[in-house]
Amino acid sequence: MKKVNTLKLVGVALLTAIVVVLQLVGGSIRFGTFSITLSLVPIVIGAALYGKRAGAWLGFIFGYMTLLDAAPFFAVNVPGTIIVCLLKGTLAGFLAGVVFSLVEKKNTTLGVVLAAITAPIVNTGTFLLGCCVFFYDTVKGWGEERLGEALGFVDVFVYMIVGFVGVNFLIEMATNMILSPAIVRLIAEGRKAVGSKSNHKQAKN
């Protein structure tokens, strides 16, 4: 059991490092004119392989890293920015783990796909909700300034969807879904490695 726990700690630590690296270089990953992040992929892997608590931890690290790009929000509300950034990632990882654990007993592949869909939806949805709670007036002002004349509307909710979510969210969710088969394979190999170590220890005893 101790060996298995050690392997879990090592696995989570490795995925944590991957999340950090992907988030640091995420701004350079572009799809046409849109930038995307692949950081949600290791979060889903960790949530599925090591459980919802590991997913929450990886999501927390992802949220912490997004604070590096949150300067415009820090200028408006520092506590609100910290809460939103940390909460959106943590919930995304935790709920991805919950969804996977509920579905995997019937179909592992479907569990991974649904977890891969859950992560970006929760991440983005929590961000938008946080904008409404902590930054409504500011975001409304940005919408009026940047989109009012160009697109003919100043509705704050429309601006959040178009200006903050838009195509990026769709690309990120599609990327997670496309990578789902690879995620399934990684989870299978990870479980096989953990299982073989555990069985080897039991045989020695």
- Beta carbons of 126 and 84 less than 8 angstroms apart: yes
pLDDT by 10s per residue, the chain, length 205:
555 577 788 889 999 999 999 888 765 455 444 456 778 889 998 998 899 999 999 999 999 998 988 888 888 899 999 999 999 999 999 999 999 999 988 888 889 889 989 998 999 889 888 988 898 887 777 666 665 554 544 566 666 666 666 666 777 777 777 776 777 777 777 666 655 554 444 444 4
Domains in the chain and their CATH numbers?
Answer: 2-204 (1.10.1760.20)
pTM comes to 0.78
List the Cα angle 62/100/65 in 5-degree steps: 0
